[in-house]
Structure 1
Amino acid sequence: MDLWQLDATDLARLIRNGKASAVDAVDSVLKRLGKVNPVINAVVRVYEEEARAAAETADAARARGHALPPLHGVPVTVKINVDVAGQPTDNGVVPLKDFVAQEDSPVVANLRHAGAIIVGRTNAPAFSMRIFSDNALHGRTLNPRDPSVTPGGSSGGAGAATATGIGAIAHGNDIGGSVRIPAYCNGVVGLRTGFARIPSFNPSSANVGRPVGAVLMAVQGPHTRTVRDARLALEVMARGDRRDWRWNDVPMQGPPPARPIKAAIVPEFPGAKTHPAQAAAVRQAGKHLQGAGYVVEEILPPDLERGVELWHMICVTDVFAGLWPQMQKMGDPDGIAAMRAWLELHKPVDLTTYVAALTEREGMLFRWMSFLQQWPLVIFPTLADLPPKQVADVTVEGQKQVLNSMRPALIAPLLGLPGLAVPVGRHDKLRTGIQIMAMRNREDLCLDAGEVIEAAEGVVAPIDPVPA
C-alpha cells in the first residue's frame, strides 16, 4: 500500500517506528497530488519545496532521538482562509492574492507543533460564503465522486483533497456547515467542533474583530477518512492560545453519560424536503447505534424551524452590514449573485430585532441543554437533499433550494454545538451521510458514536476522481 493511502494514525506510527520516513510520506502525497489534483483542483497552492525541507528536518529530528509529536512527518492541508506565515490569506478573492500573513493562525501553529507538514492550501469560494468551492482567483473545485455536483463549501477543497488521498487530514472551518457539508458531498468524515474548543482567529485581522454571529458560530475542524483521525486531529488542533478569549481548556473526554446512551434521530428535518436516501441514512445510522446498545428514537428536539430562522436573521444582518459591501467590491460574479439571492430571500433586520434574535437564541440554548440531558446525541441528515448541481445558487430559486437543503446544518452553529459528519449508505455515485450532534465540549460522544457507525459501514478509502 502506498503511504498516501494510509490514515494519519497509521502513517504517524510507521514514521515513529522508523518503517517509513517523513520524506517518503511527503513524496508519496505530492506524487498523488500531481496525479489527481489537476482533475479536481482541490489544492490551489502547493508548498512542494517547503514540505520537502520540513520532511528532511523531521527525519533528522528522529535520527537524533528527539521525542516525536503525534503527527510527526504527516502531510496535511490547510484552507486558504487561515493565516500561514509568509503566505497569502487570499480567501479566494483576487484583490487579496498578495495579502501575506506574518504569522500562523493558532490552528496552523497547532498542526505544526504536532509535527504535521503542510503540503498545500485547499480551495474555497470567495470569502468562504457558499457551499460551492469556486472563485475567480483559483477556479472551481470538482467533486471527485461526481463532477457535476458541488464538492461542498466552503471547505470543498479540503473535502475533495481528503477523499482522493491528498493528505490524511485537511483543515476546514464551519459557520453554517462548511466542514460537515464538504464531508458529506465527498463521502469522508468531517468534525465541526463546538464553540471555543479550538482557538480560532487570524492574526492578520484579529485587531479588526468579527461580527457577533461569527464570534458565536464560526469554528475550526478537520476532514479525515477515519473517525480515529478526527479524534487525533481534534486533540492536536485544540492546543490553547490565550489570545483567543473564547478558548476553554477542558478535557477531551467528558464524564460518562448514563447508560444506555440515548440518541434522538430526525430523518426528515422540519420545513425541508428531505431526500428519501438521506432520511434512510439517518434511520440506518440509528440501527447501527441500536445494535451497539444505544437507545434510539425518532424524536424532535426543540425549536428546529425557529432555529433556522434565527441563524438567518443573525447571519444575514451581519453579512449585510460588513461582508456584502466587500463582496460587491472584491468578489467574483457568482459569489456576488449567490449572496444577492440569499439577501433577497432573507432580509437583514433592524437593531431591535437583531438583539431580540440573539436573546431568543439564548432561550433556545437553555431548552436544548435540557433536551440533551435526556438525549445526549441528536442525529440529522447533513444536508436534507443530495449535493446540488454546480453553480445552483446564483439565482433566487436555485438559492432557495440550496438553503432549504442546508436547514439541518444550521442548528449546530446557531447553538455552538459540535457535529460529526459520517458517511452512511450510498446513492448512485455518491455517499449519503448524517451528522451526529452533542452538547458543547462533548465531541467525544460524537466520535464514539461515529466509530460505531464506521465499524458497520466500513472505513472510507481514498478514491480516484471521476473525470469531468
Structure 2
Amino acid sequence: MHELAYVPATKVGALIQTRKVSAEEVTKLALQRISDHNPRLNAIVAMDEEAALHTAREADKEIKSGQIRGPLHGVPITVKDSFSTMGLATTSGCTALKGYVPDKDAAVVSRLKQAGAVLLGKTNVSPLLMDIQTDNDIYGRTNNPWNDTRTAGGSSGGSAASVAAGLSYLDIGSDIGGSLRIPAHYCGVFSLKPTEGAVPATGHMPGFEGMADYASSRHLACYGPLTRSIEDVQAAFAIIAGSQGYAGGLPNGPQASSPSPSTSPLRVGWIDELPGYPVSRSIQEALRRFVQKLASQGIFVKQITSPPLDIRAAWETWGKIIDAEQNSTSSIIQRGLSYLATRKVSQQVPTASMLVPLTFKNYMRVLTKREQLIRSFEQFMAGYDVLLCPVSSTTAFPHLQKTKMVGYQPIYKEPLYIDGKPQNYWIATTYYANLFNVTGSPVVTMPIGFDTDGLPIGIQCVGKRWRDYDLLNSVSALVERCEKWQPPCTLT
C-alpha cells in the first residue's frame, strides 16, 4: 500500500472506483502516514478518524453498487482550517475561536463531500490567515516537509505541507495575497488561484458573525486546490467552481472557456525579475532553463522586459482595498493612530498603504483604479496564453521569529536575505503574488525544479480572467516539459 501514498488523487480515485483497492484501505494508509509524519510537520491540526473511516466504507458500498460520484469518490482529502466543517473544529488560527465547531459545511466542503471525497481533517494556518509563515497560538508551527528548519509558507502552509508529504491527496486553500501560491512554491506542489469569484466564499472564516453584520472581505480573495498533479487541480476545480450566495462570481463563469485543449499554438510570455525587486539567482536560472526548454521544443516564448501594468499602483491598490474592507469597523481614532504609525512603512512597502480618509467616495475611487489596472493587464494578456513569473523572491526560508504582533498583524523587523542581500520581509515574500489578486487573474503554481539546497522552486502561470480552463489546459501542455513530480527526500 505504501506505493499509493504519492499517487495523484485522480489515479487513486480510478483504482478505488475499479475496486483494485478500497477507499477504506487508502484512508487507513493516509491515517497511518499522518500518525507517522504529522508530529514532525504539524500540518494537520483537527481530525475525526472514525468519521473518515465511516465515509470511506460508505464510498466503497456505493461504488460496489455501481454508484460513482466522480473522480474523487473515495479519495481522502483535507481542507484549510478556515473553511467551515460541520462537527469539526474551525479556528482560522484565531485564539478567540479555539474550540469553535460549526454546524454546517462551507460551500467547497459540501461540494467535495457530495462528490464522494473523504474528509480526513483540517490543515494549519497563520493567525487569521495574515502571515506568510504558518504558526499560531492554538496549534503551533508547521514545518516544511523538505526541511524541518524551513517554513512551509502561509497562510495555507498546512495545506501545502500535507499534500507534499503524502498525508492528504489534495487540499483546498485560500489566497488574498499569495496564500495558495507561496506555500505551493515553498513545498513543491501545484495550486490554482482561480479567477476571483469563480469559487464561492460561503462558509470561509466562520465564527466572526458578531464583528459586523456584513461580509467585510468583498474583493481580492480566491479559493482553490493544492495537489501533486495538474490533473488533480482540474478535477478539484471542476467540483468546487461556480458561484453561490454573496460570493460575487458569475454563475459558471469559468465555463466560458473550454475544458478541452486548444489546437492553437501556445504563446508564452515570461518575466524573471521586476525592476528594483530582486529574485534569487536560483529561481531566475530555473525559470530561464524552463523557458529555454520550451523554446527548444517549438513553443513561442517572449521575455517581457517592462512590467505589464503599473506595479506600484497595483501594490498600493491592494493595500488600500485590504485596509478599507478588513478594517472597516475600526474607529476614526484607531485608524488615525494606525496611519501615523505606518506612514513611513507604506513608503517602502506600498501594500501597507491605507485608504485615508475612509470615505465612500475614496473607496469607489480605489475600486475604479483597480478596474483600470485589470483592463490594462487584460489588454497585455490578449497577446499571450500564459505569463510565467516568479512566485516569491526566495525559496523556503528558515523559520523567522516575528518582532511583535499588532492585533493579528505580525511585525517583522528582521529582513530576509536574497543572495546575501537583506530585503524587507513582505516585499521578499508577497510582491510577485499579490499583483494577480489585484488583477483577479487565474494563476497556477507549477513546480519546475530545485535550488542548490534541494528546496523546491515553483513558478506562477498566469492566465486571462474567466479563462480558467484554458489556463489549465495550457499548463497541462507545459507540465509535459517538466520532470516528473517527486516527493520530499526527507520522507519515506
Q: 1:313 aligns with which of 320, 326, 351?
A: 320
Q: Is 1:462 matched up with 2:469? A: no
Q: Equivalents in 2 of 1:466, 1:169: separation in Å? A: 18
Matches within 5 A, 1:82-93: 82-93=83-94
Deviation at 1:195, TM superposition (A): 1.1
Query: Closer, same or farther in 2 for the Cα pair 1:464/1:57, shift >3 Å?
Result: farther
Count of aligned positions: 453
Q: For residue 389 of structure 2, give the secondary structure of its aligned residue in structure 1.
A: strand
Q: Which runs of 5+ in 2 are unaligned?
A: 333-341, 404-411, 417-422
Query: Closer, same or farther in 2 for the Cα pair 1:147/1:117, shift >3 Å?
Result: same
More helix by share: 1
Q: Equivalents in 1 of 2:120, 2:77: separation in Å? A: 6
Q: Describe the superposition over 1:125-159 as per-residue Cα deviations: whole angstroms up to 9, x where unpaired.
A: 11011010000000000011122221010000000
Question: 293-302 vs 164-173, which deviates more?
Answer: 293-302
Q: 2:366 aligns with which of 353, 357, 360?
A: 357
Query: Closer, same or farther in 2 for the Cα pair 1:343/1:7, shift >3 Å?
Result: farther
Q: For residue 359 of structure 1, give the secondary structure of its aligned residue in structure 2.
A: helix
Q: For residue 86 of structure 1, give the secondary structure of its aligned residue in structure 2.
A: coil
Match of 2:407 in 1: none
Deviation at 1:123, TM superposition (A): 0.2
Q: For residue 158 of structure 1, give the secondary structure of its aligned residue in structure 2.
A: helix
Query: Closer, same or farther in 2 for the Cα pair 1:361/1:258, shift >3 Å?
Result: farther
Q: Describe the superposition over 1:327-385 as per-residue Cα deviations: whole angstroms up to 9, x where unpaired.
A: xxxxxxxxxxx9x9889952422135544322211111111111111123211101022
Deviation at 1:163, TM superposition (A): 0.5
Deviation at 1:463, TM superposition (A): 2.6
Match of 2:234 in 1: 231
Q: Equivalents in 1 of 2:370, 2:263: separation in Å? A: 28
Q: Is 1:167 matched up with 2:168? A: yes
Deviation at 1:246, TM superposition (A): 2.3
Match of 2:376 in 1: 367
TM-score (norm 1): 0.89
Query: Closer, same or farther in 2 for the Cα pair 1:324/1:412, shift >3 Å?
Result: farther
Match of 1:281 in 2: 286
RMSD: 2.8
Match of 2:339 in 1: none
1:46–1:120 CA contact under 8 A, matched in 2: yes
Q: For residue 153 of structure 2, give the secondary structure of its aligned residue in structure 1.
A: coil
Q: 1:389 aligns with which of 398, 413, 422?
A: 398
Matches within 5 A, 1:415-454: 415-427=439-451, 428-454=453-479
TM-score (norm 2): 0.85
Query: Closer, same or farther in 2 for the Cα pair 1:367/1:393, shift >3 Å?
Result: farther
Q: For residue 445 of structure 2, give the secondary structure of its aligned residue in structure 1.
A: strand
Match of 2:354 in 1: 348
Matched letter for residue 348 of structure 1: M
Q: Describe the superposition over 1:392-423 as per-residue Cα deviations: whole angstroms up to 9, x where unpaired.
A: 55423538622212211011111111111111
Question: 51-60 vs 254-263, which deviates more?
Answer: 254-263
Q: Which runs of 5+ in 1 are unaligned?
A: 326-337
Q: Equivalents in 2 of 1:322, 1:79: separation in Å? A: 26
Matches within 5 A, 1:100-179: 100-179=101-180
2:48–2:88 CA contact under 8 A, matched in 1: no
Q: Is 1:378 matched up with 2:403? A: no
Question: 147-156 vs 351-360, which deviates more?
Answer: 351-360
Query: Closer, same or farther in 2 for the Cα pair 1:245/1:409, shift >3 Å?
Result: closer
Query: Closer, same or farther in 2 for the Cα pair 1:253/1:13, shift >3 Å?
Result: farther
Q: Equivalents in 1 of 2:323, 2:487: separation in Å? A: 37
Q: Equivalents in 2 of 1:354, 1:402: separation in Å? A: 28
Q: Is 1:413 matched up with 2:413? A: no
Deviation at 1:438, TM superposition (A): 0.7
Deviation at 1:98, TM superposition (A): 2.6
Q: For residue 162 of structure 2, give the secondary structure of its aligned residue in structure 1.
A: helix
Q: 2:221 aligns with which of 218, 222, 225?
A: 218
Q: Describe the superposition over 1:181-216 as per-residue Cα deviations: whole angstroms up to 9, x where unpaired.
A: 0000001111111111111221746884333xx322
What percent identity do the matched residue pairs reach? 28
Query: Closer, same or farther in 2 for the Cα pair 1:104/1:404, shift >3 Å?
Result: same
Question: 314-323 vs 251-260, which deviates more?
Answer: 251-260
1:269–1:407 CA contact under 8 A, matched in 2: no
Matched letter for residue 116 of structure 1: A
